[in-house]
Amino acid sequence: MVEAVSPRQAMDWLATGQAVLIDVREPDEFAVAHIPYALSAPLARTTAILRDMDLPADRKIVFQCQRGARGGQACAAVGASAPGGQPVFNLNGGIEAWRDAGLPLIATGAAPRLSIFRQVQIVVGLLVVVSVLAGFAFGPAGFVVAGLFGAALATAGVTGWCGMAILLNRAPWNRP
């Protein structure tokens, strides 16, 4: 069971030095806006980064993302406690709840754009829909292609490596 913490409670912990905040969003999301003192450790690499960090054993670890889902995944991946024995928590509602609570944010003023994570979801979703429609119109090969896209997406989720995300990162609309 993932323990959640409210934005106000997390702010109190951070202000008194009782916790460390780890933002598990992608670097482009972190660059647009983040919570002061948050450390960036994208979800795909969170456990490896956490193993390499020398965090004080007496501090709680709070994972944070956009709305709370990826923070919960980070908590589940790490378990009830971090490698150093620190208890882990998920920031309830993520950075959006933090902002809605009127707590401070560091914003670059950069135009918000769709994260690579969401772009991959949109592209793969559309490719699956088109492949399924092709399967109905032209035969079973379309269903096989849809299955391959689904398998590729599942593999990306398990391994943290996504070739489509790498390609989308190089697309002109994602360049600074």
Active centre residues (catalytic): 65
Residue 103: C-alpha distances to residues 31, 39, 92, 94, 116 (Å): 18, 17, 14, 12, 26
- Count the neighbouring beta carbons within 10 Å of the beta carbon of residue 160: 15
Handedness of CA 101, 9, 3, 71 (dihedral sign): positive
Helix ranges, 16-140 (H): 27-32, 46-52, 69-78, 94-100, 116-138
- Distance in angstroms (rounded) separating the CA atoms of residues 159 and 157: 6
